[in-house]
Amino acid sequence: MLGGLLEQGSNLLLVLTFQPCGLSEKTLRPGKNENAVATLQGDIAQFTGDSTPGYHGDRKAVDVLVQGNTLPGPEVLDRVMTAIRDARAARHTLEDVLMAGLQAGADAGGDKRCGGQRATSAFLVVARPDEPVGRPYLSLIVYAVERGKVNAVDFLHKKLSEWEASGGPRNDRSRMDFRPGE
């Protein structure tokens, strides 16, 4: 289905890929990852790998695609959708809506392979339609957190709050990569 949308000439708007806890790019296999595609014409497609232990599934609503695998259960995706819905209803900024979804997913159990840590990487990238390709106004990336240490989503949330306090979109430094413990 994803390839079909691209073959039909849809203008690609967004592709999201999740790298599970403890796996590297070299070990990713099609049945063990998630992808979502949305086009400017409103076409959408989702894929959630079914070759992982634990729960896997997806949810969608107007302008929202959420998918995950190796989750403790469906409540993770349900809580993500509820948090996004509530943040949108409260008219939060897009970055705060996305962060609410990420935080709800982590709080509901996150990636079960990470145990109580819930996530070893997390990122938040937001771009406006008028921005140059590859130059989003916000790009916060938390990567390679040592197992058993800080929850990457909690750390990302803290960094988003700091970014907002420093001027948010007016901040010249929009791309920030963090590796906690370095």
> What is the full per-residue pLDDT of the chain (182 aa) written as tens digits?
344 433 444 333 333 333 444 444 444 456 667 777 777 677 788 877 777 788 989 998 888 889 888 899 999 999 999 999 999 999 999 999 999 999 999 999 998 888 888 888 888 888 777 777 777 888 888 888 888 889 999 999 999 999 899 887 665 555 666 677 65
Distance, in Å, from the CA atom of 68 to the CA atom of 59, rounded to the nearest integer, reads 9
Half-sphere exposure of 35 (CA within 13 A, CB side): 12
* Assessment of whether the complete model's pTM goes beyond 0.85: no
Distance, in Å, from the CA atom of 12 to the CA atom of 14, rounded to the nearest integer, reads 6
What six digits make up the tokens of 168? 């948010």
Residue whose entry in the numeric block shows the structure tokens 């008219």: 91
